[in-house]
Amino acid sequence: MNTESNVVQKSQSKIGIRTIAQIGMLSAIATVLMLFEIPLPFAPAFYQIDFSEVPVLVGCFVMGPLAGAVIELVKILLNLVINGTITAGVGEAANFLIGCALCVPAGIIYKRKRSRSGALIGLAVGTIFMTAIGCVLNAFILLPAYATAFGMPIDALVEMGSAINASITGLSTFVMFAVAPFNLLKGVLVSLIVLLIYKKISPIFRMR
């Protein structure tokens, strides 16, 4: 009886150590990917897309949504250490919430339905949820925080958007024509990459 108990405890210990190692590895990859940003033609220069949510989503699918949220948090903290902050941590907190808005719903749905259709539904729901949360956070938290950080009125940020897209005339249209397309595009691109690579790399995470 004691032998069986010891075997179970050792097995659980190995799983715990492996999970921690995988979270650390995926967090490191996400942090590196966060350093490579791509500007977009329809948004001001301070909106640049990166693919750091790819390893976060992989973590969600492999280990569950909680592990994905931890990877997202570690990624943000490591980026703070490397790059610092210009928004007193407000921007980083919002980025954490926006990242989780994509990855956590996708991870929850995939955990309940581990199939390609489950992954597709999860990624679609996550993308829509991230787009909605991103719009709200940008309108009420991120954009005001950026304006304060750079010592300029929020209208100046709107004007930066107007210079790129004449349809942007105020905060609401800025969110509609810059923020929403930005998050929607990021969600779609990240989802496509995960769909292409997940089945190929998932066996690596299940190796004993």
Q: What is the tally of helices (H) and strands (E) in the chain?
A: 9, 2
Residue 3 has pLDDT above 80, yes or no: no
Q: How confident is the model at residue 2 (pLDDT cuts 50, 70, 90)?
A: low
The rounded distance, in Å, linking the Cα atoms of 25 and 27 is: 5
The rounded distance, in Å, linking the Cα atoms of 130 and 66 is: 17
CB 107 within 8 A of CB 129: no
The rounded distance, in Å, linking the Cα atoms of 50 and 29 is: 12
How many other C-beta atoms are found inside a 10 Å radius of the C-beta of residue 77? 14
Q: What pLDDT does residue 14 have?
A: 53
* Digit-coded pLDDT (tens) for 110-166: 999 999 999 999 999 999 999 999 999 999 988 888 888 778 899 998 999 999 999
Backbone phi, psi, residue 46, to 5°: -80, 0
Residue 101 has pLDDT above 50, yes or no: yes
What is the model's pTM? Answer: 0.87
Q: How many residues are given for the chain? A: 208
Structure tokens given for 5: 């108990």
Q: How confident is the model at residue 8 (pLDDT cuts 50, 70, 90)?
A: very low
User: How far is Cα of residue 74 from the mean position of the Cα atoms in its chain?
Assistant: 12
**Domains, the chain:** 14-205 (1.10.1760.20)
Q: What pLDDT does residue 207 have?
A: 59
Specify the 3-state DSSP secondary structure of 49. Answer: strand
CB 92 within 8 A of CB 72: no
List Cβ neighbours of 16 (8 Å cut-off, separation of 6 or more): none
